[in-house]
Amino acid sequence: MDFDLSEEQEAVRGLAEQVFAGCAGIDRVRAVEQTEDRIDEELWKELAGTGLLSLALPERFGGAGLGLVELCVLLREQGRTVAPVPLWPALLGALAVAGHGNPEQQQAWLPRTADGSLRLTLALEEFGPADPAAPATVAVRDGDLWRLTGSKAAVPALHGARRVVVSATGPDGPALFLLDPAERGVTAERAETTTREISSHLALDGAVAEPLGGPGALAALLDRVRTALAAVQVGVAEGALRQAAAYLGEREQFGRPLATFQAVAHQVADCYIDIEAMRVTLWQAAWLLDRGEDPGTAVLVAKWWADDAGQRVVHRVVHLHGGMGVDVDYPVHRHLLWGKQIAGTLGSPGADLDRLGALLAAGTGAAS
């Protein structure tokens, strides 16, 4: 398989790089972190205006009709600059509606998602060592309605989201539902995340929600969310290593640039090897999903590499910066925070290995 970017994908990458370079510099990121919502709305409008928000949405709803690979190209560029916009929850929420919603749901939400005038978000995690594929939140039928009861943890960028794609377990097993966060029976508790972004913990008490797709919708969404998170993490690691290369080339010790010391070079080489493994496993997972093939273990392999190696890279880079690396306002420290948070989203590297082991034991991992 050739994982080099096509001409079209390279154009997406170049446009995304240009937008983030112009609108997500460190001074801009610092300024956004001082706002109440911690979201760069001007950058969001710029992404919408360039068509980047609608890359993977169907053309009939104002999208470009591209795939998950192109979306991962965009998310990788975001990770390089740790730009404070809720791209992965909003865009993966839109993909869930595009892939599993009925025509009324699609027409109601996708055109305005494509033009950036509204956002969706995802509520897939719960408190404790919960498996995202087996949510404890319960969905019960009440006449023609569905009601959700339970708790969802760390819902990203709930503020400003018009609908939330929620995972819950109904009579037929795990499923997805579309929830209005202003609905009766929904209580949101605001919380700050590791990355300094704002999330919300949701308490659901019989809140009315619409079903979104049927059996298998949650599993399909989780595959795409894990792949998207791996893409962001690849960008975070690449951005961190880029900063380290610049710092080590300029900083001197004993009259020599730090980059010329063998021990330093070995650490940088280890980072490069980890990032290459993260890249190839990411593109394999995204490519298989885009082709509609069973990814086997490919998605979990990509997410494990992103979690495990991504943390190693950001930690090494912080150490390579010496005392500057532990300055919480120094740019590379933000990459450390993002790397840590992504590694714990939808489960830790240990949880990923446990799931991988279960797939291999069941003999369902042949695709990768």
Cβ contacts of 266 within 8 Å, gap of 6 or more: none
Which position has the token pair 């001082």?
A: 34
Does domain 218-362 fall into CATH 1.20.140.10? yes
Report which of 300, 201, 279 is spatially closest to residue 234, judged by C-alpha positions: 279
Which pLDDT score, from 0 to 100, does residue 183 have?
A: 96
User: Cα torsion at 44, 46, 51, 53 (round to 10°)?
Assistant: -10
Pick the CATH number of 7-118 from 3.40.50.720, 3.30.530.20, 3.40.50.300, 1.10.540.10: 1.10.540.10
Overall pTM surpassing 0.85 (yes/no): yes
The b-or-e profile of 140-161 (16+ CB within 10 A means b, else e) is: eeeeeebbbbbbbbbbbbbbbb
Sign of CA dihedral 211, 219, 348, 194: negative
Q: What is the pLDDT along the chain (368 residues), one digit of tens a residue?
A: 667 888 999 999 999 999 999 999 999 999 999 999 999 999 999 999 999 999 999 999 999 999 999 999 999 999 999 999 999 999 999 999 999 999 999 999 999 999 999 999 999 999 988 899 999 999 999 999 999 999 999 999 999 999 999 999 999 999 999 999 999 999 999 999 999 999 999 999 999 999 999 889 999 999 999 999 999 999 999 999 999 888 887 776 777 777 777 788 899 999 999 999 999 999 999 999 999 999 999 999 999 999 999 999 999 999 888 877 778 888 899 999 999 999 999 998 999 899 989 988 887 655 44
Report which of 105, 247, 98, 242 is spatially closest to residue 163, judged by C-alpha positions: 105
Residue 116 DSSP class: T
Distance CA 109, CA 98 (A): 9
Which pLDDT score, from 0 to 100, does residue 260 have?
A: 72
CATH superfamily of domain region 121-213: Butyryl-CoA Dehydrogenase, subunit A, domain 2 (2.40.110.10)
Q: Domain segments of the chain: what residues?
A: 7-118, 121-213, 218-362
Instruction: Decide: helix, strand or coil at residue 330.
Output: coil
- Would you say 111 and 54 are in contact if contact means Cβ atoms under 8 Å apart? no
Cβ contacts of 54 within 8 Å, gap of 6 or more: 48, 61, 62, 63, 64, 113, 114, 115
Tens digit of each residue's pLDDT (9 = 90 or more) over 209-241? 999 998 899 999 999 999 999 999 999 999 999
Give the type of residue at 109: W
Q: Where are the alpha helices (DSSP H) in the chain?
A: 7-23, 26-33, 41-49, 68-81, 87-100, 103-114, 217-250, 262-290, 298-320, 331-344, 349-362
- Would you say 340 and 306 are in contact if contact means Cβ atoms under 8 Å apart? no
Which pLDDT score, from 0 to 100, does residue 255 have?
A: 73
